[in-house]
Structure 1
């Protein structure tokens, strides 16, 4: 084996643990790997940058713009409004939930679908008196199952298809070819979610109870009209640097000053709301000029147009991951104050300023109204929703946005245009018709996913050009004893396992050259193995970190990792058995 092959294998063996265990994003890790491989001469600049010109990558990017048009016009809200209703039983609630979500996810990127559905489901669960824990995990799993039905269903399908057509131009797939296997997998999976999952899902109180009573995590005091603090600034009054408390807002004469700055002057009778530990109330009572609040109700229970209470789910990309809230200047950057933190379904107690943020933490924030729109597409948060807020208003261009999407799907399905051309035309029409602004389109692009895909191509190219893929394939063939069936089962298991630990796109792109080399050595068609990679990369049911939608529901649902293992384990086995059994029937060896 050549030195280049050894280097390529060493880089891959380093990349996967780093993506699974490091706080660095997968895009940064893979880009670093590509730079290293190019510096060491394993790949040339053309191979390193080949992923940035791949048709699959651009199809994914244009699909993001198409989906942004649906989101900007409230197109998903339109469906939510009419399908949820008031089901009498939990099983009927699941039917109303998972069937439309799976259908939408066959054509739309899962993340915006989930971002719209989760706040609606949280509110809906309260209305129908069901625990959100019984609904949110099935919601995520249904979106994953729906993505297996079409080539448009997930970015991974498009990327693997792009790899297939670039390396094997004589091979192709239709938009709905995957449905021969995807539909049975989705139907069986949805049946599992409706009939089996309710017996396995938890029924703990979860996040809804954590944030239910504002008096549990806030302390309220008043400025004594005759005291020494009248007309002093917050800084001068010593309220800016309290040890275990921070001043969130000031209620004054029927109005509210939210996210209070250090220069705000206190007035007689101001009602001050502090967030922090209840033990710190003693510290407040010792400050001259502050007296206990004379009102019995919590200020946070009142509605003010200057204030919004929002729930935000922390992303793994958030710049404050691992930092203490106070040290990271969270309040200064976002213009929002953290009132409470929910982790694993339980409120984090103690001094909030000393809490180090973790991915999927749910934050209860007080912010000014512009915060929601400014940070709704921020990569720092997986999800932002107004507490008990209504769904976003339905825009009059929603039917047009849906017509453009369905038109693009139709043109690609009948072969009039390639998937890339159809997605490009649809994205252009969405912008030209005003269904989505240029700024909205830019926000809709998930740059981390796109960079991860592009960089994965460079690593995959290193495995192929250095001969490492052939060497690994030879080792794999010796393990499977020359049996295409064993190779197929092994491919599914390896990709499904890697998908739970790292990103599905990276797992698929890096494994692709190894598996295709093994199939060629066996003298069989590569198609069943390519399709197996697509399905295995979507089988992200075992952990919350395996897929973005799982992370999105992990915090709001108050789940634990054991919940995913218990519910997702059976679903993983069921979908895997069906996929592996059917794929060779549709695409023979």
Structure 2
């Protein structure tokens, strides 16, 4: 083994140690490793940064834009509410929640998907009386299982495909992982359905007590011709909302108080809610409801180019002592008040009639420039934007879903290359107005893209220096020459890595080694790479294994042992099915 190979292996070992024992960002670790390899002359500069022009990397970026369009239009949330329904019994609830999550995750990245589904499930649990701890972890694992069924289901699949292209291999096809991922997902879902009711205890989330939350008063209008007209309050999902209470309905001047869940909604109903800011934001995402104040629609620019902002009224604000209507707030600040909170006091007036006081907290719909214009003005004591609260464009949701379906069909049936299909989808999202150019830029996950680009360069260093070949020969000496032993070793090594470091990092480290091993053993490389794909996505046993594992940790009130109790047997199920499906592909 030459000096360059030793240096390359030392750098990869350093990457592993840094990922395991520090909290440095994954992309920073990989970029630092790439810099060291270039500085040590192990890797020429042109090869080091060729990964950032790799077609696989561009494909990943474009698919993030496509997913952003689906998310921005509220299509995922609309599908979630449509599919969840109102089941009876815990197992039926699990089935109704896991199947949609797995199906949606096959075509959407599961991180933004879980970000949308978690609040939906929490509210659903409050309505059905089921503890969130019984559903959120199985929901998370179902989404992870679904992500392994289609190429675009998870960034790990795309990372492996990108590294394959960089190594001169054909990219993974849209449904190439499906023959392995689908049986694994089905087996995993059956296990979760049977085992999770017994293995998961009922726990109270840390954040369950919302009694002290600031109460906003907000008004929503039932849109004529919308999907909520003719439905009862309960059927529309507006009864017993988490952190939100339906105070009354103003039906063309007639007040309906103490509203019953079987009250039928009519076009033009003005619904008055009180609740926490997160619940108010969720309310504005429900298809068929719109802000009752006409001021929102008199603001300049489309709603999807605005954001929600919290602002505390200062004592020198010129609207203090005036009603919202008299103060001409929209004309003065180019922002519309959609909710008002007054410390501990439940407001009952219409928003336009509320006389503002110093210290009132306003929830505003405004253009992004509002923060810069008034952040230091004496009119407000505090101004802060609410992340992820851009009003969705519900009318574009069917179009966004149609574009996503077209991308999947074009790539899946071989009519277009995956890069061309992704380019078509991203351009379609922006051109059709499902996603603004600014939102498209925000939808890109810079961490994943930088990691992929740097990992391609590190893989080139391992290959060019002979380090990958040396490692492959070493593994060959340990496991023997049989294809079964090679498959088992690749799967278990990737599985171990993905429990300790991120799944994308584990895939990035294993792909070049797997390619080299397959070359030395003269084996078909794609079954081994599919083993990497499946094992890298199997992060069920610890909260740190994957970012969505941590996302459900607090809302479900989980403990570390809950992940082990449910996840370790799931690892056994998915490993057995994966190896059983892949072994015949290797002639075992």
TM-score, length-normalised on structure 2? 0.72
**1:135-150 equivalences in 2 (<5 Å):** 135-150=135-150
List runs of 5+ in structure 2 lacking aligned partners. Answer: 215-308, 322-340, 352-359, 364-371, 376-380
State the SS of the aligned residue for 2:540. coil
Superposed displacement of residue 207, structure 1: 2.5
| Residues 183-232 of structure 1 deviation map (CA, whole Å, 9 limit, x = unaligned) | 110101111111111211131212343444559xxxxxxxxxxxxxxxxx
Distance 2:312 2:406 in 1: 50
Match among 357, 363, 371 for residue 385 of structure 2: 371
CA contact (8 A) 1:214 1:301 kept: no
CA contact (8 A) 1:56 1:160 kept: no
Superposed displacement of residue 174, structure 1: 3.0
Superposed displacement of residue 369, structure 1: 8.9
Q: 1:467 to 1:196 in 2, by over 3 A?
A: same
**1:34-45 equivalences in 2 (<5 Å):** 34-45=34-45
Partner of 1:118: 118
Superposed displacement of residue 87, structure 1: 1.1
Q: Is 1:564 paired with 2:563? A: yes
CA contact (8 A) 1:156 1:508 kept: yes
Distance 2:528 2:403 in 1: 33
Superposed displacement of residue 166, structure 1: 3.6
State the SS of the aligned residue for 2:394. coil
**1:429-444 equivalences in 2 (<5 Å):** 429-444=428-443
Distance 2:315 2:501 in 1: 47
CA contact (8 A) 2:487 2:531 kept: yes
Superposed displacement of residue 545, structure 1: 1.8
Superposed displacement of residue 265, structure 1: 7.5
**1:406-485 equivalences in 2 (<5 Å):** 406-485=405-484
Distance 1:441 1:46 in 2: 29
TM-score, length-normalised on structure 1? 0.71
Partner of 2:60: 60
**1:30-179 equivalences in 2 (<5 Å):** 30-169=30-169, 171=170, 173-179=172-178
Distance 2:399 2:451 in 1: 32
Distance 2:383 2:125 in 1: 25
Q: How many residues align?
A: 452
Distance 1:144 1:212 in 2: 34
Distance 2:186 2:382 in 1: 44
Distance 2:141 2:150 in 1: 16
Superposed displacement of residue 264, structure 1: 5.5
Partner of 1:388: none
Q: 1:50 to 1:405 in 2, by over 3 A?
A: same
CA contact (8 A) 2:146 2:185 kept: yes
**1:488-567 equivalences in 2 (<5 Å):** 488-567=487-566
CA contact (8 A) 1:307 1:369 kept: no
CA contact (8 A) 2:311 2:383 kept: no
- What RMSD over aligned residues (CA atoms) do the two structures have, in Å? 3.1
Q: 1:202 to 1:302 in 2, by over 3 A?
A: farther
State the SS of the aligned residue for 2:163. helix
State the SS of the aligned residue for 2:151. coil
Superposed displacement of residue 27, structure 1: 0.6
Superposed displacement of residue 172, structure 1: 5.3
Distance 1:172 1:68 in 2: 23
List runs of 5+ in structure 1 lacking aligned partners. Answer: 216-256, 271-296, 310-331, 336-366, 377-383, 386-391
Distance 1:410 1:143 in 2: 21
Partner of 1:247: none
Superposed displacement of residue 477, structure 1: 0.6
Q: 1:486 to 1:368 in 2, by over 3 A?
A: farther
